Structure 1
Amino acid sequence: MTFLDLARKNAWRKPLRTVLLMVCIAIAFLIYGLTASFLAGTQGTSAASDDILGVMSAAGRTQPLPLANMSRLTTDPDIAAVGYMTRLRGFVEVEKNVVAVSAADPALLIAVNGKGLGLTPDLLAAIGGARDKVLVGGALAQAQGWTVGQSITVTAFDTAKQDGSRDWRFEISGIFEGENAATDTYFIIARYDYVNAARARGKDTVDAFIVRPRDGVSSGQLAARIDALFANSAAPTRTQSEKQFLEAFLRQYADIGLIVNLVVGAAFFTLLMIVVNTMVFAVRERTFEIGVLKTLGFSRLKVMMLVLGETLFVFTVGGGIGLALAKLATTLAGPDLGLVFSPLIAAKALAIIVVLGLATGALPAFNAMRTPIIKAFRTR
């Protein structure tokens, strides 16, 4: 019998207790996997870029910028591409069914972030057929059951048309999927010229300019220079990276990262107390057997490693089951709920399994190592 076989058999000597421990561990790591996937999806940690910059009004996201500012941005030699967009928020059929429409110049959008969004020349050609044609993100199309060629009506909350109506009619000409699963595709891309010509107010203004720096140019320094360029203008700007913008937007409602860390920390702390208490009693029940092992030649170090191997085995099996369930859940529901189970999450989870396995086994392993042989035999 090998050392690992002995540790495994010790773990299964009371199957019900071991199964219950593994269930607790699996639930804790399922919570970790889902919350970390939610954090990665909502804050865009897997897809949001530190390089792509958004130039918005310093007065707030609701204040527009003049489209004429684009000419000043394009003269900067450190800017590789510039685009612009204006946001139209509304609902389809019922007010609870909220959708977002980003009105932009498709050709400029492809130049700035075409790869990230999964935009192709074919999609560009499809949206260029008529001004009311739109591209729909894969996540939104799946959630709504929309298909190419379908006509939709978005009732805007604030953006009215010249005739007073807030109903914007579009025809779906294509669906973009994004570069990877973490890319936000829960929105519609419309043509700016169509929205700009039809809206009653805010003509020739945009909500934001989208800037891609040239290779080797610091995005932070470029952002500061852009803001300095418009500092004394009628519309001063605030420039942020895509990742900074998403994090700041979420913090308006709550510090999602802090909430997730508190929930996961509470789950793991409770798990730590449960497993430590269980393992202490489990090792105490085997005090006589530990004395026999030492009599047969097992060193104090080997006895300690045997107990640590037992706790690591329990955590590996239970944690593996929890992570597998989290991965399955994100695969099935991830596109709709914005869950992204990245390799980084899996790597962190494996590290946590090792740390918790060693931490929970440390006290019972130390007690087993210190137990004298004579004292162990007196327990029988």
Structure 2
Amino acid sequence: MGYFRLARRNAWRKPLRTVLLMLCVAIAFLIHGLTASFEQGNMAAGSASDDVLGVASAAGRGQSLPMAHLSRLAAEPGIAAVSWMTRLRGYAVRESNIVAISAVDPATMVQVSGTELGLTPVLMAALATGRDRVLVGRTLAEVQGWRVGQRITVTVPATPNKEGSRDWRFEIAGIFEGASPASDTHFVIARYDYVNALRTRGTDRVEAFVLRPAPGIKAADLARQIDALFANSAAPTRTQSEKQFLQAFMRQYADVGLIIDLVVGAAFVTLLMIVINTQMLAVRERRFEIGVLKTLGFSQGRLLALVLGETLFIFLTGGLAGLALAKLATVMIGPGLGLVLPVQTLGVALVLILGLGLATGLIPAIRAMRIPVTAAFRTR
């Protein structure tokens, strides 16, 4: 009988206990998979760029910047392309149905972020057919049930238009997919000229400039260069990469990354305690059998490998089941909730499965290895 078969037979000596252990492991890795999916999708950890820079007001996100900054940015060496944007934050139909609109200059935005957003020439041509045309991200379109050609109304409480209404009306010209499944497509792209012409305040001002460094220029160096350029102006700036910008935005509400780490850490610590305690109990129950194996010539190393193999079998079965459930969740409900589980996250989870399996099995295995034969036979 081989090691793996013997370890598997030992694991299934008490099927109920083994199933419960596997269930604990599966739940822990389901939590890990879902939280990692949330971090990848909603915090844009996998899709946000370190090269695309956002130039916002140093006074905070609530303050805008004058369009006069554009000419100085365009003349600054080291910048390959620069665009601008402002945001409308509103809701569709009901207040809980939040919709984010980014009003941009289409021609320059394609140069800066067209690749990351998947803005094809066909989509940009459709956006140019009318000033009230918009592009909707695939995720948002699926959540809202929107389609190309549909007229939509977004109520923006903080930004009334010149018609005296807070309802902004658009027509969907196309749906953009993003460059990868991790790309953020939960927003609307509108035309800045349309929004700027209709809003009653903040005219000719932007929320941020978006730019791409020239080849060979480090983004961090360029960010410091831009902030120094406007340091003594009436509207100083704070320049960050897209990834830093999104992480700072999430931290306005809470340190989501820390919360995720604490939740996953608590799940794994609890799992370690449960599995170690259960495996210690299993070793105590098999003291006589361990004594027999030693009498038959099993070395301490072979006993160590036997117990570790049993624990690894439990972790692999339960862990892979939990990851499969997490992947299924991202496929079924992921588009609506922004859950993305990339291959690299699954690879990290597999390393965790092997590492935790070895860590939890090590103490019971060492205990089994050190049981004296005479003490083991006294248990019968």
- TM interval, shorter chain, is over 0.9
Matched residues in 1 for 2:194 and 2:354: separation?
57
Whether the 8 Å contact between 1:118 and 1:177 is mirrored in structure 2 is: yes
Task: Indicate yes or no: 2:140 matched with 1:140.
Answer: yes
Where 1:153 maps in the other structure, the secondary structure is: strand
**Which residue is equivalent to 1:285?**
285
Whether the 8 Å contact between 1:48 and 1:243 is mirrored in structure 2 is: yes
Whether the 8 Å contact between 1:119 and 1:176 is mirrored in structure 2 is: yes
Where 1:310 maps in the other structure, the secondary structure is: helix
Q: How does 1:211-222 map to 2 (within 5 A)?
A: 211-222=211-222
**Which residue is equivalent to 2:307?**
307
Moved more, 35-44 or 239-248: 35-44
**Which residue is equivalent to 1:31?**
31
1:286-343 deviation line (CA, Å, top 9, x unaligned)? 1111111111111111011100110011111011101110111111111111112122
**Which residue is equivalent to 2:322?**
322
**Which residue is equivalent to 1:100?**
100
**Which residue is equivalent to 2:336?**
336
**Which residue is equivalent to 2:12?**
12
Where 2:139 maps in the other structure, the secondary structure is: helix
1:208-266 deviation line (CA, Å, top 9, x unaligned)? 10010012211011001001111111111111111111111111111111111111111
**Which residue is equivalent to 2:229?**
229
**Which residue is equivalent to 2:256?**
256
How many Å apart are 1:360 and its aligned residue? 1.4
Matched residues in 1 for 2:165 and 2:21: separation?
61
Where 1:87 maps in the other structure, the secondary structure is: strand
Amino acid at match of 1:69: H
How many Å apart are 1:344 and its aligned residue? 2.5
Where 2:333 maps in the other structure, the secondary structure is: helix
Q: Give TM-score, length-normalised by structure 1.
A: 0.98
Task: Indicate yes or no: 2:124 matched with 1:124.
Answer: yes
Count, aligned residues: 380
**Which residue is equivalent to 2:170?**
170
**Which residue is equivalent to 1:209?**
209
Moved more, 223-232 or 342-351: 342-351
Matched residues in 2 for 1:50 and 1:137: separation?
21
Amino acid at match of 1:147: R
Amino acid at match of 2:91: F
Whether the 8 Å contact between 1:135 and 1:189 is mirrored in structure 2 is: yes
Where 1:38 maps in the other structure, the secondary structure is: helix
Q: Which runs of 5+ in 2 are unaligned?
A: none
Amino acid at match of 1:47: S
Matched residues in 1 for 2:124 and 2:101: separation?
17
Runs of 4+ displaced beyond 2 Å:
none
**Which residue is equivalent to 1:152?**
152
Matched residues in 2 for 1:85 and 1:227: separation?
18
Amino acid at match of 1:40: Q
**Which residue is equivalent to 1:196?**
196
Matched residues in 2 for 1:29 and 1:202: separation?
48
Matched residues in 2 for 1:20 and 1:76: separation?
63
**Which residue is equivalent to 2:364?**
364
1:2-61 deviation line (CA, Å, top 9, x unaligned)? 111111111111111111110111011111111121122222110011110000111111
Where 2:93 maps in the other structure, the secondary structure is: coil
Whether the 8 Å contact between 1:287 and 1:379 is mirrored in structure 2 is: yes
1:96-123 deviation line (CA, Å, top 9, x unaligned)? 2221111111111111000110100000
**Which residue is equivalent to 2:238?**
238
Where 1:8 maps in the other structure, the secondary structure is: helix
Matched residues in 2 for 1:16 and 1:25: separation?
14
Matched residues in 2 for 1:49 and 1:63: separation?
24
Moved more, 320-329 or 344-353: 344-353
Amino acid at match of 1:230: F
Where 1:209 maps in the other structure, the secondary structure is: strand
Amino acid at match of 1:297: G
Whether the 8 Å contact between 1:53 and 1:219 is mirrored in structure 2 is: yes
Moved more, 159-168 or 6-15: 159-168
How many Å apart are 1:178 and its aligned residue? 0.6
Identity of aligned residues (%): 65
Whether the 8 Å contact between 1:181 and 1:335 is mirrored in structure 2 is: no
Matched residues in 2 for 1:20 and 1:5: separation?
20
Matched residues in 2 for 1:59 and 1:338: separation?
30
Matched residues in 1 for 2:212 and 2:108: separation?
11
**Which residue is equivalent to 2:75?**
75
Amino acid at match of 1:336: G
Where 1:159 maps in the other structure, the secondary structure is: coil
Amino acid at match of 1:255: D
Q: Give TM-score, length-normalised by structure 2.
A: 0.98
Amino acid at match of 1:256: V
Where 1:274 maps in the other structure, the secondary structure is: helix
Matched residues in 1 for 2:321 and 2:93: separation?
42
Where 1:90 maps in the other structure, the secondary structure is: strand
Give the alignment's Cα RMSD to 1 decimal. Answer: 1.1
